[in-house]
Amino acid sequence: MHGSSDDAMWLRWKAHIASAYESTCYGTGAVGRVSLAGHELLERSLSSESEFRRVLEVGGGGYDHRPHVRHRFTEYVRSDIDARTLGGRGCQCDGRALPFQTGAFDRLISIYNLEHLLEPHLVLKEWARVVRPGGVLSIAIPTEGGVAWGLGRHLTTRRHFRRLGFDYDYILAREHVNSCSRLVALIRHYFPARQESWYPLRVPSAHLNLVFAVTVTR
């Protein structure tokens, strides 16, 4: 299958994939627990005593992070490239080119989004641009490319999506374009002031864990 026929198939799948992904990855059971881990890791060091007045969530059109936020805020902006997932509440925009002024936000949040975006080195610079000095970037990504992630995917979501009639390997090949190890290398290079977390183990390894989370101080 080539060219336009392949793209047509992909477009037919997209709407079904989105609903299947949310019910599968944020439902009950082991898969849902892993998905929630990234949200929890980013809030672990925060409390109601913390405050970030203006917050931007990038790629927050599906299962957004706001219900997990523990700190005080005045404004919470959800953004996503797909207007349908926002449901009319938020900013439709490309996470690679944000339509906001430099230093406009106190905190930027990205949950399971960076692995989808081309040229992540430029994406990270763009995200840092819209966060004020002293603000934070909170990023969580799956350990795509790691041994534990590959095994867990084979035993759970891959089987489930195949039962629904989807080629899950094809979906991830198109959607997850960046491995965890490469993204971690970029984050460590650009942001020396950071706090890293891994799930479920504390060992800093993409092969032994399922989720990587980092809080970067600008």
Total domain count for the chain? Answer: 1
Q: Does pLDDT of 154 surpass 90?
A: no
- pLDDT level of residue 200 (50, 70, 90 thresholds): very high
Q: What is the CATH number of the domain that holds 153?
A: 3.40.50.150
Encode pLDDT of 74-131 as tens digits. 999 999 988 877 877 889 999 999 999 999 999 999 999 999 999 999 999 999 999 9
Taking the CA of residue 79 as centre, how many other CA atoms within 13 Å lie in the half-sphere pointing to its CB? Answer: 20
16 vs 189, residue with greater confidence: 189
Given a contact cutoff of 8 angstroms between Cβ atoms, the answer to whether 18 and 58 are in contact is: no
Q: Does pLDDT of 1 surpass 50?
A: no
Determine the average pLDDT of the residues in 45-56. Answer: 96
Range of the domain at 10: 3-217
- pLDDT level of residue 38 (50, 70, 90 thresholds): very high
Least confident of 6-15, 39-48, 98-107, 138-147: 6-15
Q: Which of 137, 104, 107 is nearest to 123 (CA)?
A: 137
